[in-house]
Each structure stands twice: as structure tokens, then as C-alpha cells.
Structure 1
Amino acid sequence: MAFPTTLYEGMVLDDRYQIVRRLGHGGMSQVYLAHDLKLPGKEWAIKETIAVSSKYREADVETAMLTTLSHPFLPRIVDFITGHEAGYTYMVMDYIRGETLEEKFRAHPEQIDVPFILRCGDQLLSVLEYLHQHEPPIVFRDMKPSNVMITPDGDVRLIDFGIARTFKPAENHDTIKLGTVGFAAPEQYGGGQTDHRSDLYGLGALLLYLATGGMYSEWLDSMPGLIRADMPEHAVQAIQRLLQPDPADRFQSANEARQALYVKPLQRSRGQHGSPTQVIQWNKTTQVIALLGAGSGTGTTHTAIMLAHYLARRNHTVALVEMNGAPGAFARIQQVAVAGMNEQQQLRQSRHFELEGVHYWREAARAEVVSLLSGSYQFIVLDLGRYKQSDRLEEFLRADLPIIVGSGAEWRYQDVIEMMVAMNSYSREKWHYCLPLAQEESVRRLRKELATDQVYAIPCQPDPFDEDEQIDMQLAVLLQRCLPIVRKKRKFRLGLQLF
């Protein structure tokens, strides 16, 4: 820090924010944890920087723009305090619990595996896509490990907008060249203007850094032999393209890069020397089925269990993942599943247990789901819980088969309609709708209201683990867009009525 701080433990900034302690510092800024005296129990991160008074107006405009941002992988910026006689400014933002990617890399390098690297890339590209589509577009310009937070759930947060700028098409070069050496794009040091493709280069440099154990952030001719051997070939090719010196040779959008990096691959995995070895078997890809309830008590968990066991009875490898806002059902199922085991065996089951060929994952985070995608499952069924309580909307939107579960009761008919109004901005082409216990008339009404025939009634089934010919016929219709299924004999019947 080139300038002394004005903040200290116990002081109150702007009659509201009481400083607790310093969280970190950089070359021109320091970050502090603060309590909100107007909102008891609320904590904020306050970033202190210094600027000449002539730049206050520009800083105010930029910060006003940043306060409008809303994305699950970005902290909210809620306040900006200026007016200090020495030129200090204070940005108030969400306090993100966790560790920076740099800290995680140094403390737990063994956790930086391929699923983790690909997940970071996917989520960061999601943020960049959002920033670049902003009006006007926002260029981050400083993608590096210390600017990425990893939350306890394994999700990322892009945290430092210190040198972010809005893209100005009328300008042909940047006034100031900024960015961290090793992660900044070549044009950040030359005579051109940085744009969204500069951020894509920075993302490529960060991914290469992680994939080479912190050894490299710039592409070399020998790089394919230096990247970890278990990195998928398609991901290596995507990183190489992200790191092209000429912006015209890179991906031209974050969405394009995201699709290339996160292909569910049939690609060959790479051997010790980077050469192709074996083809991943399973008829194209893992299928992700995500269920989201239109309201409380619609039977989302019950329906997810029926689907998972239906698929398992037909010889498929299935993971059933609990990601809802009110966990507990899977824990009750586990108590029955492990009955008869000794205490040591029950401990080994942890949050992952198997029942009738279905692998249950209790209270799972995004990190675990992404790791399952790189495994051997043919189907992953996500129980996302109720829509208004779910923070997992992205999982629903990206699923191969998104299913909305609504109540079959006539007086709950509007739940689905209201949910569709709230989600009107999203494409609904592949969405399906399940109405447990609904009458045929309710199905016809909803099909007409939603202008789709992808609405299904699910007959009564008190035991979601059990096999029922009528229900199986309905589930077969629902799943017909997935891969062909082959029956196998049921191992045993579990008589449970849970929901």
C-alpha cells in the first residue's frame, strides 16, 4: 500500500460502518471487515482506495454503474463514500466468506483437480458473459487468483473491480495500462483498447496457471506436454484459443468460450504425454434432470425419487442429489437404508449412500455436482426444492431435462402460472411440467395456458421406491427425449411412505 490507511479497529465510517479488522491489501487499496450499525448482525467488506479529487466524478459514475450489477457470482456493491480531504474513497460491498483462489492454491493444491478447474472456468465465464452484455459493456481487466474468492460451497465470486472500466467504442486505446503481469492480455500493454476479449485472455491465463500447478500463465509451443495429463483435450484446446495474442484469434464472446470449455465430452482423455488414449463410453453424455417445485408441498422430492428409481430399475447408473433449501428427507431415507449396519459402517456412509441401485447425495453443493458430471453416472437427478427458496436456478436452466413440479390441486393451479410469469425472461423450450395427482382437465388447462403439450399428470404413488405399471408409462413418456432405456428385474421392494 503506497498510502497510509485512515481506518482502524473500532472506528465508525460515515456514522454507520464500524471497522472490525483488516482483511487484506493490495498496491493501492486495503480491505476491511465492518459491522453495520443500522442493520445489526450485517457485515460488509469496505475497500479503501485513494484518488485525486478531479477523478471523484468519474469514480462516482463508475461506482453508480457497479451498484446496478446483480449476478450470483458477484458481490453486491451497496455504498460508495467520497469527500475525504486527502482523496480517500470507500467502496462498501458484500463480505464473502471463504478464501481466495490464490490462498486455496497455496494451502490445498491437491484440491485443485480437473473438475474444480473446469467449474471455476465455467462460473467465471458466466460472470464475464453477464458483464460484457451489460449496457455499456464492463471489462474487468484484472483476472487473477487473488481476485477470485472460493466460498465454502465451492462457488466463485469475482471480487475486485478496482480497474474495471466501461468499454467506449469511440476510443481506440486505453488511457492507462493496468493489469497484473502474467494474467493481463498483450493489448493491456500496447496501444489498443482493452475490450471483452481481454478478459477472455485473462481467464485463459488463470486456467493455464491452475492446470500447470502454478508454473505457467502464457501459452508456449511445448505447453500440451506441460499441462496435467488428466485435463480433457477439448479444455486444453479451449485454453490455447483463449490465450491467442491477437484478440481476433480468441473466442469472440464469453458464451462461445463457455460452450467450448464445458462441452460434456465424448472427447478422448489424454495420456501421460498428452496423446489421446481411451474414448469415454456412454452414448454421448451424462443426462442431468433437474426438478424445481412451483410451490411448497408439491411433491418435488417424491417425484425426484420416483424418477431416479425408475431409471435405476432399467439398468442405468443414477445419482440423486439433494440441493433444496430444506434438506432432511434424504437423511430420513438414509436412516432406513443403513439399518442393520454397525456404527462404523454408518459413519462410512456419510452424506453419500446407496439404495436399490440409486446413489443418494445429501445436502450437496455445486462442487460435488460438477465432480459427478465427470464421473460414471448416466443420469443425475437434482432435487432443487421450491422455486422461491431455491438459489440453484442456474442448475435448473442448464439441465438437459428441466422439470417443474406443480400441485395437482385445482386451488393451487396458479402456482405454476405465477412461476412462469416470474421466469418469463428465460427460454422455456425444453421445460417439462409434472402435476402429481392432477385430473386430466387440469393438465389440459395448463397445456393451453402455457402453450405446450409438455405437461403431465402423475398418478398416485404412496411409495416412490415401488414399481407401478401406470406410473412407469407416464415416466417413460416424460423421459422419451433422453436415451433409450432397458428394463432389468427389481432387486427388492422397500415399503416406505415418506411424503
Structure 2
Amino acid sequence: MEPKNVPTNEQYGTTSSLQRQQSPGSRRKNRGGVIGGRYRILRIIGEGGMGIVYAAEDLRLGGMIRAVKIGVSGNSREGLGEEAATLMRLNHPHLPQLLDYCPAQGNEDIEALVMDYFEGITGIEAVRSGGLEQELVLDIGLQLCDALSYLHEQPVPVIHRDLKPSNILIGEGGHVKLIDFGISRLFREGQAHDTVMLGTAGFASPEQRQGEQSDARSDVYGLGALLYFLASGGGMIGGSSRREQLRLLAKLEGRFSAEARQLLGDMLEPDRSRRHQSMRRVREAMLQCGGQQAGMKRNYGASVSLRRGRPKWISVLSLTPGAGATTLSLTLAWMLAREGRTTTAVECAGPVSEWSELLPDCWERQSDLDQGIYRGRLNPAKKVANVQLLSLSGQSSGNVNPRTSLFGTALREAEGDCVIADLSSEWDGDAFGEMLTRSSLVLAVGDPSLSKWQIPKLLKLAELREQLEKEGRHLRWIANKDLKFRGRQEWLSSFPAKPLAVVPLLPARDVLDTLWRGRWLPEHPGLGRELGKAFRPIVGEVLNL
């Protein structure tokens, strides 16, 4: 099923609320800025009228990544104090965990919530390729039912009031988190109206749109609209007439059972007295429709890629120092850019960045030098400009392992379709184990210097290859610096498997001439032809990930 006009995260962000908020531009923080003397801003991960959410590095805890939401204090509609007061009372696996609250200080009018960082995709990203199957929609629904039941059954019930695709995150294994409590409210018995009419068009219940008091049944309606969005591949049903709702639900026939369609219809009843009256009742109905009990193993592989919208990670390593991982990494980034792929190339540098010397004209002047991070663009003056460069110098002002925290930071900052991480010959250190095991593709580069090859490293790569293959990922061998010599066939047959590509030894004069001109190797006509031919199978492998 192909999605039709699937909205973007921006279209379904909190800025689409019924009552729009003041522009958050005044809250925007530059990368590298520090909040509360502790949290260094890395990048924006969410934005809307109720606040901006950043990925931030916790400087006191070894560079651990946190989610930091920033809002304006002293404004009853946007202040985060009430949201913090709500979150601090909650503890549930499907809800964000509040770790810290930074109130406004001095002349600053901003305040911040600090929460655990959860890697995942939004409900919008989950339906990029079409609607989800019934099993997965019910699985997501059951997890959200658990979270909402927990909220509604608090001593003073908490009503979320803003259930929509951009407010759920789906992580590895299908674990779901319900986020953004910016317009949640405590239920006040006997109150006829909410203080402020808020919600998101297409998901807000009729009583919310009419300014009446919202209650647990309002969230039942919002959840029904959200689950229909996931089932239909981006369709909007909330706010439709009852006749139109039934027509839209009928379109799910063939993919969703009559019982599942009936459940969604019951949740979307315009008259709240005719809906399911609690999330517990909704959960029971989902189980009767075939939903799995919480805690059962989930398999989202074929139906929804949890990496969709996230860059593919390609790790490049050398069997021996100087085998050519750096040349291969930068050239592959260039080749992918020519194919229209936006790529981030990351150097895992030693004490001094090699890339910053190799490509001196490609780097931003305003880089986080105090954190050992250089940023740039590969040949920014050329048409091939969609390659972001990140180089880590390995220097840090803290007492933590700099490579562990900085490398993780760089990967979380990465832009585009692919991340190409140059691990060079230092890949077997503890700092890079996680990166290797999480890579979509590992490229192991070997040159003809067989005397430098080490059996323990080859065995370690064999174990890594076996682990990756079990998860549908791959390790490929690259033979670099190929030329005609007596032992050539013996060298090529020494790789544990047939090399994916054989890259020729490039003429030193042409290489040096190109680099001294401040250009990268494919810009040289002769080198470009040779590299283009040799890299064809590597580029094809990456494009097929």
C-alpha cells in the first residue's frame, strides 16, 4: 500500500495545535551552548509551539546523551514547570523519565526539562512506505494503552490530550514511548471546561475542539485517530463525520479484521458516552482482536524499518596501519554524493586530526575545538557539496575516555542517508566495539603487505562477520593498492572471502598533485576514472542497504 500525502514531522509537530503558540525562535540555542552549566547542545531532535527538544551531552556523566526540552518561563501556556511537576510523579517504561529540571536564572527567561534519550522513529516515519499491518498496529496500541492507563489511574488522573504520530517514538524491537506532556492536564472533577482549548487538528476529540473538559475518554478518541493513521499509512480520520469515519474504516478491509475495524470505530465515536470508557476496556478489546500480550517478542523487521529516516552506518577499517581506510572512506563519501546521497564522513582521529591537514580548505572556522570536533564540507564550492565532515581530535577537557564520548556524539549528530566512519587501524579497541556491531556494513581494507597482517585481528573480524550476518548485515573485504607483482594471486586469496572490490594503487604523482591543489582524488580526470570503476561494487552495496 502506497502512502498518500504522508505529512512530515514538521506538519504534525506541536505547531499544528488548535491554538498555536508563540514562535519558539527566541528559545533556539546554538550547537555547543550549555544549559544549566551541564548539558551541551548537540542538535535539534524536535520542535513545536510548546518547546524545542535537543539532543545534549551531559558533561558531568561522561558525555551521556540526554533529551533537553527548552521553553519560556513565566508564560502559563509555554512554561515547563507544570510539565515537570507532572513528569516527576511518573515512572513507567513507556513514558519519558525526568532526570533534571533547570529553572530560569538571572536575566534568562528559558527553562529546561532534561529527560532520558530514546533512539527511535516517530509514527510519521514509521508509515513512510505505507500503512502498518494489524499485528503491529495492535502491538503499538497495547503499549500506549498501558501508558495511558497508568496516567489515567493516578490519584489525580493525568490526561495527555495530544496523542498524535509525532508524539510517539518506536525504538529497536518495537518498544514504544509516549512523549510530550506539554498540554497534558490534571482531571478536575466537576469542572465543565478546560482552561485552554488545545490539541491537534485531526486527532483532538470533539469535546476538546468544543472547549469542554477533557477526560480519559478524550485520550481514547485520540488513540483511535492515531492508530488509524498508522493503519492507513498517514490518513486523517479525527474530526470527520460518523458517516465519513465508517467509509474510511471500510477501506482497511482485507488488511484489518472486522473486529479491529469495529474497535477503531468504537474509539472514534463522536459522543464520548458511547466510546470505550477506559483504556483498560480498550486494551481488553485489542487482545480479543489478536493483539499480543505485553512482553512477548516483537518482530518489526519486514513491515517497518526502525532505521527509516536514520542514516545507514558504514564502518571502514584497516587490517594494518596505512592500508587505506581513510582514502576509501572519503572517496566513498564522494561517490555516494554523486549518486545523490547526503553523507556524513567521520574521522576517528588520534591526538591530531589527519583530515584537517589533508583537506585544509574544507573546514568551518567555528568548530568545537575545545571538544576536539572539527566540522566541514567536502569540496563545498563544488556541486558535490552534500558530504558533511566530522573529525575528532581525541582531546577532551573532562576525565572521561574522549574517544568513547566524542565518537558517540559525532554519530548522533550525523546528517543524511549514510554515515561513513573511518576507524583506520584502531578499530579493535574497546571504544569502537559498539559502532562495529551496530554498523549496517563493515568494510575491511587490506593491502599487499601480508607480513603486517595479524592472525588475532583476522579471527576477531571473522567473529564480527558471523555476528553481523545473523542480523542481516555484512562485513566485506576490500583489496587496496592493487598492482601487478609476483605474489598478487596469493595476496588476493589470503582474504577470508573474495574481496568485494579491488582498488588499484594510484600513481603517487597524480595523488600528490591533486591534494596539493586542495582537491580530492576523484576530481583528477585520470584518478576519477580509475576510482569510479573500482568503487562501483562498493557503491552498489551501500545503495542496496
With structure 1 as the length reference, what TM-score do the two structures score? 0.51
- Corresponding residue of 2:228: 208
Counterpart of 1:227 (choices 218, 229, 252) is 252
Quick check: 1:76 aligned with 2:101?
no
* Distance in 2 (alpha carbons) for counterparts of 1:43 and 1:287: 31
Deviations 1:348-399 (A, max 9, x none): x9579xxxxxxxxxxxxxxxxxxxxxxxxxxxxxxxxxxxxxxxxxxxxxxx
Larger deviation: 221-230 or 29-38?
221-230
With structure 2 as the length reference, what TM-score do the two structures score? 0.47
Unaligned runs of 5+ in 2: 1-22, 298-465, 473-545
Deviations 1:232-278 (A, max 9, x none): 2211111111001111111111010111122155xxxxxxxxxxxxx
* Distance in 1 (alpha carbons) for counterparts of 2:189 and 2:158: 12
* Distance in 1 (alpha carbons) for counterparts of 2:88 and 2:235: 36
Q: Secondary structure of 2:99's partner?
A: strand
- Corresponding residue of 1:427: none
Shift of residue 46, structure 1, vs aligned partner: 0.6
- Corresponding residue of 2:286: 261
- Corresponding residue of 1:94: 116
Shift of residue 87, structure 1, vs aligned partner: 3.4
* Distance in 2 (alpha carbons) for counterparts of 1:183 and 1:288: 25
Q: Secondary structure of 1:201's partner?
A: helix
What aligned pairs does 1:252-291 form with structure 2 within 5 A after superposition? Answer: 252-263=277-288
Q: Secondary structure of 1:22's partner?
A: strand
Quick check: 1:12 aligned with 2:60?
no
Do the aligned partners of 1:3 and 1:28 also contact (CA within 8 Å) in 2?
A: no
What aligned pairs does 1:172-251 form with structure 2 within 5 A after superposition? Answer: 172-218=192-238, 220-251=245-276
CA RMSD in angstroms, aligned pairs only: 3.1
Do the aligned partners of 1:139 and 1:164 also contact (CA within 8 Å) in 2?
A: yes
* Distance in 2 (alpha carbons) for counterparts of 1:156 and 1:289: 12
* Distance in 1 (alpha carbons) for counterparts of 2:217 and 2:283: 13
Unaligned runs of 5+ in 1: 266-284, 292-345, 353-499
What aligned pairs does 1:319-358 form with structure 2 within 5 A after superposition? Answer: 350=470
Counterpart of 2:141 (choices 121, 130, 139) is 121
What aligned pairs does 1:132-211 form with structure 2 within 5 A after superposition? Answer: 132-211=152-231
Shift of residue 26, structure 1, vs aligned partner: 1.2
* Distance in 1 (alpha carbons) for counterparts of 2:293 and 2:169: 30
Shift of residue 28, structure 1, vs aligned partner: 3.5
C-alpha change, 1:2 and 1:63, in structure 2 (3 Å) is closer
Counterpart of 1:30 (choices 43, 46, 52) is 52
Shift of residue 90, structure 1, vs aligned partner: 1.0
* Distance in 2 (alpha carbons) for counterparts of 1:145 and 1:185: 15
What aligned pairs does 1:398-417 form with structure 2 within 5 A after superposition? Answer: none
Deviations 1:93-148 (A, max 9, x none): 11110111112212x436x2221111111111111001101121100000000000
Amino acid at match of 1:72: P
Q: Secondary structure of 1:205's partner?
A: helix
| Percent of residue pairs identical | 37
**Count of aligned positions:** 276
Q: Secondary structure of 1:221's partner?
A: helix
Shift of residue 289, structure 1, vs aligned partner: 12
Shift of residue 171, structure 1, vs aligned partner: 1.6
C-alpha change, 1:350 and 1:205, in structure 2 (3 Å) is same
Shift of residue 65, structure 1, vs aligned partner: 3.0
* Distance in 1 (alpha carbons) for counterparts of 2:211 and 2:115: 33
* Distance in 1 (alpha carbons) for counterparts of 2:163 and 2:55: 23
Q: Secondary structure of 2:173's partner?
A: coil
- Corresponding residue of 1:42: 64
C-alpha change, 1:200 and 1:20, in structure 2 (3 Å) is same
Shift of residue 169, structure 1, vs aligned partner: 1.0
- Corresponding residue of 1:63: 84
Do the aligned partners of 1:264 and 1:286 also contact (CA within 8 Å) in 2?
A: no
Deviations 1:278-322 (A, max 9, x none): xxxxxxx9999999xxxxxxxxxxxxxxxxxxxxxxxxxxxxxxx
Deviations 1:385-414 (A, max 9, x none): xxxxxxxxxxxxxxxxxxxxxxxxxxxxxx
* Distance in 1 (alpha carbons) for counterparts of 2:183 and 2:292: 40
* Distance in 1 (alpha carbons) for counterparts of 2:281 and 2:73: 37
Moved beyond 6 Å, runs of 4+: 285-291
